[in-house]
Structure 1
Amino acid sequence: MTRFGHVMEKIDERIPGVDLPLMSVSQTRGVIRRSELTNAPQRAESLDNYKVCRANDIVFNKMSIRSGAMGVAAEDGLVTYHYEVMRPREGTDPHFIVYLMKSSWFTKELIKRERGIGAGDQANVRTTEVPFSVLKTIDAYIPAYAEQRAIANYLDRETARIDGLVDEQQHLIAMLHLRRLAVVDAALSQGLGSEAVLRKTGSQWLPELPGGWEVVRAKRVLSFGPANGVSPAVGDTDDLKSLSLGAIRDGRVIMGPEVTKFVDRSSVASTESLRLRPGDILLVRGNGNVDLVARAGLVGSEFAVEEYIYPDLLIRVRVNSSMLPEFFVWACNASPTRAQVRAQARTAVGTFKVAGGDVRSLSLPLPPLDEQRAIVAYLDKQTSKIDTLIAETERFIELARERRSALITAAVTGQIDVREAA
């Protein structure tokens, strides 16, 4: 065991007027030029207070060390005060040190020392700094230089294999999402019968539909709303329950601890008028991501016995007898409606929003009710298959990342003989 501060030294070099590239730290790519993250990297009026990092220095984000925001610099550059710069002393390999710092063993040692990130307090992870003054006190396993290099080379090779598998699976997920969207869009614009004859509608958003279908404004199929919710003051944990935006998920409105907020009942004028009922439809009124604005979810039967209201960034509607609520949700989340929302959404301070009038004006397809029922049943079945594949692929990625983390920890703590694994 060797004190971490004996093998690494903190560097705080500042050279006014030096012309070096601005560097940043990526969790997946290590230390890279900031221009690789954005085409227009922001530069301060003066770079005199920026720190200099040299090739083979280790750079890490003091506020994101537990998420792996660190790496070895491949070239000289400048970094902001958010970053710490360390330089390996003689006989220390920087790549081994980075792997050591990414291990679960090292993280546990940090937790023992740093007040605010201990005791599994995940809420404080993002706001707690872990400076070099904490790192240097850790007694770590530091083998001879040749073994450090062997371990780093082994982990470079093995983690690259795992990262390659993860990249392939992430690409598969992207393809499955595209396939899911294509299935939905085809059913809502062409129907289910291959013999259906499409006719011109004159609509910008739905230019062709099967015979017997109409293009209608959403207001024609609504019996209630659009009506915004309210966001009263926070209440006690046994007070009135409200939902967060995350409750709208894959065309459903879910309930559970992760999407439930407790609000002050006494500050709500009429809970009965705001209470969600089965068959209600909620749409996202505002979000920083325009692709999530006006996303719709159906309120299920479980809300009949659970009292929930909804916040002011959600909109509630109900449909009349001309359209099934399930069909309305599918139509709202399909590509033609998404294009309309992107054209209508307005932004202020980074949040895109739609108003009730925007929702009422949406152009939607309106097939006969029997075709609506058939399309809803078809889409439920087909998307369920795709969603199962997506969930299985996401689980594979999760397991691969767990394997990657365990492999790093095992290698840097001597549980794997890399000479035999070579």
Structure 2
Amino acid sequence: MSLPKHAQYKDAGVTWLGTVPKHWDIRRVGYYFSERREKVSDKDFAPLSVTKNGVVPQLETAAKTDDGDNRKLVRIGDFVINGRSDRKGSSGTSEADGSVSLINTVLTPTSEMSGRFAHHLFRSVPFQEEYYRFGKGIVADLWSTNYSEMRNITLAVPEFSEQVAIAAFLDRETAKIDALIAEQEKLLALLAEKRQATISHAVTRGLDPNAPTKDSGIAWLGDVPTHWTVTRLKFIATVQTGIAKGKDVAGKATITVPYLRVANVQDGRLDLEQVATIDIEPEQLDRYRLQLGDVLMNEGGDFDKLGRGALWTGAIEGCIHQNHVFAVRPHGVSPQWLNQITGSIYAQFYFMGRSKQSTNLASISSTNVMELPVLLPPVAEQATILQFVSHESAKIEVLSESVQQAIGLLKERRSALISTAVTGKIDVRGLAETQAA
């Protein structure tokens, strides 16, 4: 879609804006907003979460603190922004009265500022970059911007009616893009389900639909091929627990080694782009070192992370693992087969049933992991099933990558559209119905 530009532009005097429409006003944030600093209790004003999707009722996954009587008041129409750089993009206009933690900045717009225009402007990538440029701190994830700095950021703002037109245009167009993204994400989830179902059926029923079956002896597993055996993980593997972080090694001789965390262990793959290090005593290396063929499993975390795992192929020399990642070391079965078993739907069902659970979190002990029922076809049949699973998974992966690329392009389009509209690079006044913000 080709969008029109304004007839005349002027230099805004700041790099992040560049040139802006000639009729737009150049003023600082402090002209259009005042900071709301009133302290309240979450007993009187419901707690809100400031997320990348905007300001919403407090999420169940939100970190619980003891600041209940020491929070900031938020009124309908206020704009709330999280000042921490590791929360970049977490902001939005509140549609409800409530309270937020003190790390957030609460802004009340003047009558010259449309709330919806501010919502899009402050959440745009160019403004976010300028916002954090005005901040200060020690390191990137402890970098924050206070209102005393934010109020001096230069804005280019049109008259109120044009603000409303821009907001209406962006509300409509981003809703269309969001709908397309949601469709693609639904497709991505369906592909993941198909992959999981394909694997689970293959490792619990085999590839021959006509093979005779027998009762597995496990109610929730049902029948399995007659010639397969059922054993427990503890008879064909050992579980190596990992090292706990935080041990005091002051004054002791130590070595620095790579350290695998839950974040590195994804579903069926390892993410080794960012691998942390830890200082340990030299004699601990052999105790916690990962070995080729270890099947890695997450001990806990969010429900979708429980039991999630991948095969260790020795990508990093001398790497150890944290206590929240189990290294299952097979000795009576191939690592590849065991990896498919632990990643199957039936294994996930078992892990959830044996886990300790709290709100959105779960964890399982190594003792319970060792009791996992493991299905064992003859070795030759295992190889055939693994080849089939690999082939089918590869086809699904190609489709998934294509969908992920489409999602990425849609998100880039959405971001670019917002940025160009709120900085006046396009003229949308004739493309949106003006309505009260």
Is residue 2:169 matched to residue 1:141? no
2: CA distance between counterparts of 1:274 and 1:263? 13
Is residue 2:279 matched to residue 1:263? yes
Is residue 2:363 matched to residue 1:352? yes
CA shift, 1:5, in A, is 0.8
Letter paired with 1:143 = P
- Aligned residue for 2:107? 86
1: CA distance between counterparts of 2:203 and 2:326? 23
CA shift, 1:399, in A, is 2.5
2: CA distance between counterparts of 1:74 and 1:293? 35
Is residue 2:390 matched to residue 1:380? yes
Secondary structure of the residue aligned to 1:318 is strand
1:115-126 matches, cutoff 5 A: 115-116=136-137, 123-124=140-141
Q: 1:299 to 1:64 in 2, by over 3 A?
A: closer
- Aligned residue for 2:32? 7
- Aligned residue for 2:342? 332
CA shift, 1:24, in A, is 4.2
Secondary structure of the residue aligned to 2:145 is coil
Q: 1:269 to 1:159 in 2, by over 3 A?
A: same
2: CA distance between counterparts of 1:45 and 1:300? 45
2: CA distance between counterparts of 1:15 and 1:184? 52
Contact 1:25 1:32 in 2 (8 A): yes
CA shift, 1:64, in A, is 6.6
CA deviation profile, 1:167-207 (whole Å, cap 9, x unmatched)? 11121122112111111111112110122222222223422
- Aligned residue for 1:102? 123
CA shift, 1:143, in A, is 1.3
Contact 1:239 1:262 in 2 (8 A): yes
Q: 1:149 to 1:185 in 2, by over 3 A?
A: same
Secondary structure of the residue aligned to 1:418 is coil
Contact 1:244 1:261 in 2 (8 A): no
Secondary structure of the residue aligned to 2:132 is helix
1: CA distance between counterparts of 2:393 and 2:167? 43
Contact 1:185 1:334 in 2 (8 A): yes
CA shift, 1:55, in A, is 3.4
1: CA distance between counterparts of 2:89 and 2:152? 19
Is residue 2:50 matched to residue 1:25? yes
Q: 1:237 to 1:416 in 2, by over 3 A?
A: farther
Gaps of 5+ in 1: none
Deviates more, 1:15-24 or 1:4-13: 15-24
Is residue 2:128 matched to residue 1:112? no
2: CA distance between counterparts of 1:17 and 1:361? 45
**Under a length normalisation based on structure 1, what TM-score does the superposition of the two structures give?**
0.82
Q: More helix per residue: 1 or 2?
A: 1
Q: Find the partner of 2:203 among 188, 205, 229.
A: 188
Over aligned residues, Cα RMSD in angstroms? Answer: 3.6
Q: Find the partner of 2:236 among 212, 221, 225.
A: 221
Contact 1:206 1:365 in 2 (8 A): no
1: CA distance between counterparts of 2:294 and 2:87? 42
CA shift, 1:394, in A, is 2.3
CA deviation profile, 1:315-347 (whole Å, cap 9, x unmatched)? 3333335x3221111111112222222222346
Is residue 2:283 matched to residue 1:283? no
Contact 2:255 2:282 in 1 (8 A): no
2: CA distance between counterparts of 1:253 and 1:17? 41
Instruction: Tell me which of the two structures has the higher relative contact order, counting C-alpha pairs closer than 8 angstroms and 6 or more residues apart.
Output: 2
Contact 2:234 2:371 in 1 (8 A): yes
1: CA distance between counterparts of 2:256 and 2:112? 61
Contact 2:239 2:328 in 1 (8 A): yes
CA shift, 1:87, in A, is 2.2
2: CA distance between counterparts of 1:219 and 1:73? 53
CA shift, 1:89, in A, is 1.8
Number of equivalences:
402
Secondary structure of the residue aligned to 1:204 is coil
Q: 1:310 to 1:268 in 2, by over 3 A?
A: farther
Contact 2:205 2:224 in 1 (8 A): yes
Secondary structure of the residue aligned to 1:277 is coil
Contact 1:66 1:107 in 2 (8 A): no
2: CA distance between counterparts of 1:91 and 1:363? 66
Letter paired with 1:9 = S
- Aligned residue for 1:246? 263
Q: 1:394 to 1:263 in 2, by over 3 A?
A: farther
Secondary structure of the residue aligned to 2:426 is coil
Q: 1:111 to 1:33 in 2, by over 3 A?
A: closer
Identity %: 30
CA shift, 1:133, in A, is 1.7
Contact 1:215 1:363 in 2 (8 A): yes
Deviates more, 1:327-336 or 1:344-353: 344-353
Contact 1:200 1:207 in 2 (8 A): yes
Contact 2:355 2:362 in 1 (8 A): no
Q: 1:104 to 1:242 in 2, by over 3 A?
A: closer
1: CA distance between counterparts of 2:61 and 2:311? 40
